[in-house]
Amino acid sequence: DGGITQSPKYLFRKEGQNVTLSCEQNLNHDAMYWYRQDPGQGLRLIYYSQIVNDFQKGDIAEGYSVSREKKESFPLTVTSAQKNPTAFYLCASNTDIEYNEQFFGPGTRLTVL
């Protein structure tokens, strides 16, 4: 089955630790995205990538880093510099950044203790 997988579903980390969230897709999509959702807010874009080895900052990139070494994979690292990392994180992909629908993964809920 084609789709996007994110792991783990729930993640707990101590304050000050870096943590990496996994996102893998087998849809052969060029573009991949990371969003963050907080209660009462819409999806906010953290980073996106239109092609392997290239990525762009979204509106809330501070405290996060990404890599795109393979077309299928777009891991997100939440660093200790992110002041409020507890949130729900969604990964998405599509074939054309502007015109085509996005396909979403199931999300990872990160709680920093």
- Residues forming contacts to another protein in the complex (CB under 8 A) are 4, 33, 35, 40-45, 48, 56, 58-59, 90, 97-107
Question: Looking at residue 68, what DSSP letter applies?
Answer: -
Beta carbon of residue 43, minimum distance to another protein (angstroms, whole number): 4
Beta carbon of residue 21, minimum distance to another protein (angstroms, whole number): 15
Beta carbon of residue 104, minimum distance to another protein (angstroms, whole number): 4
Give dist(CA 30, CA 59) in Å, integer. 21
The 3-state DSSP class for residue 106 equals coil
Residue closer to another protein (CB basis): 43 or 52: 43
- Contact call for residues 19 and 7 (beta carbons, < 8 A): no
Residue closer to another protein (CB basis): 35 or 64: 35
Residue carrying the six token digits 């870096």 = 18
Beta carbon of residue 98, minimum distance to another protein (angstroms, whole number): 4
Residue closer to another protein (CB basis): 55 or 85: 55
Residue closer to another protein (CB basis): 33 or 64: 33
Burial class (CB in 10 A: 0-12, 13-18, 19+), 86: middle
Q: Which amino acid is at 36?
A: R
